[in-house]
């Protein structure tokens, strides 16, 4: 049971929705700025994640905090500490520590299930991961959650919604997200009757840096991400070897690339 719950947390709901999202011209400008920041800049940012899922007759909740360090294209470290509860009254508690290190050619995914004393290490070819991302749109997080950072998750989530711009608080802009027809149809009977799917992405006006992301799929799933302490970095000042991962002696490393290919 614990392993299944952990996989639910790491993979969220396992739902896949193919969508063809549209954005207003103004919204597209903001999304392009966000894409450009993510694609080429060196930066670090702290973030928190709150997740609540109702699946398989039980409620799963999780709170996590993490840090993303990006040194440029294909160079990043995403580190996450997650505390989760499931079952009646949150009786089954667990703690997960995960790291994803992208060294330019390979992504190393390390997951430590603290309560169970289990550490799993996997590798993925980044070319294959890029192909997966290109062929996977919408809320297709059933595999990608384990292998992508929060900026990539925003990119995948946004594809399930049509987006328009609304005024935000001082210094921010709100991107209102409405589910596409394909997204709504894709969930079919899985979404409780009368439930609404909503989304809101808040960006800073100065740099188009995410402030928060809220997505609700009726009562089935609620996601909230918040970002703080964003800092642009000089790539030349990042120490050499920062994005190199070396497994502990004797550690078992599994090539996860075939599994990802099977999901494409």
**Pairwise CA distance, residues 196 & 213, whole Å:** 17
Could you tell me if 53 and 7 are in contact, meaning their C-beta atoms sit under 8 angstroms apart? no
- Residue ranges of the alpha helices (H) in the chain? 2-11, 25-40, 126-135, 150-158, 181-187, 257-262
Q: Cα 67–68–74 angle (5° rounding)?
A: 160
Q: Per-residue pLDDT tens for 3-39?
A: 333 333 443 333 444 445 688 999 999 999 999 888 8
pTM, full prediction: 0.84
* Dist. CA 11–CA 46, nearest whole Å: 21
Residue 233 burial (10 A CB sphere; 0-12, 13-18, 19+): middle
Q: Could you please report the per-residue DSSP string of 115-137?
A: GGTEEEEEEEEHHHHHHHHHH--
Domain borders along the chain are 2-262
Please give the CATH architecture assigned to the domain spanning 2-262: Clam (2.50)
Tell me: the pLDDT tens digits for 82-124? 888 876 666 667 888 999 999 999 999 998 988 888 889 999 9
95 or 58, higher pLDDT:
95
Own/partner contacts of 78-82, CB < 8 Å, gap of 24 or more, are 78/149, 78/150, 80/49, 82/9, 82/49
């Amino acid at each position: 049971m614990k392993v299944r719950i952990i996989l639910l947390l790491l993979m969220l709901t396992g739902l896949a929705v193919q969508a063809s999202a549209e954005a207003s011209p103004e919204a597209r400008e903001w999304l392009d700025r966000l894409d450009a920041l993510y694609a080429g800049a060196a930066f670090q940012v702290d973030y928190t994640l709150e997740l609540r899922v109702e699946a398989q007759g039980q409620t799963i909740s999780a709170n996590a905090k993490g840090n993303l360090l990006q040194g440029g294209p294909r160079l990043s470290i995403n580190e996450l500490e997650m505390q989760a509860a499931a079952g009646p009254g949150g009786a089954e508690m667990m703690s997960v520590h995960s790291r994803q290190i992208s060294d330019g050619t390979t992504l190393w995914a390390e997951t430590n299930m603290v309560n169970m004393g289990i550490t799993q290490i996997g590798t993925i070819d980044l070319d294959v991961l890029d192909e997966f991302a290109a062929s996977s749109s919408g809320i297709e997080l059933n595999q990608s959650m384990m292998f992508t950072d929060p900026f990539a998750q925003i990119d995948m989530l946004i594809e399930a919604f049509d987006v328009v711009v609304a005024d935000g608080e001082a210094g921010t802009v709100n991107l209102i997200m409405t589910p596409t027809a394909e997204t709504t149809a894709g969930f079919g009977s899985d979404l409780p009757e009368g439930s609404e799917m909503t989304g809101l992405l808040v960006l800073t006006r100065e740099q188009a840096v995410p402030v928060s992301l809220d997505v609700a799929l009726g009562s089935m799933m609620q996601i909230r991400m918040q970002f703080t302490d964003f800092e642009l970095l000089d790539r030349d000042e990042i120490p050499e070897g920062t994005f190199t991962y070396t497994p502990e002696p004797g550690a078992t490393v599994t090539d996860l690339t075939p599994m990802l290919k099977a999901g494409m």
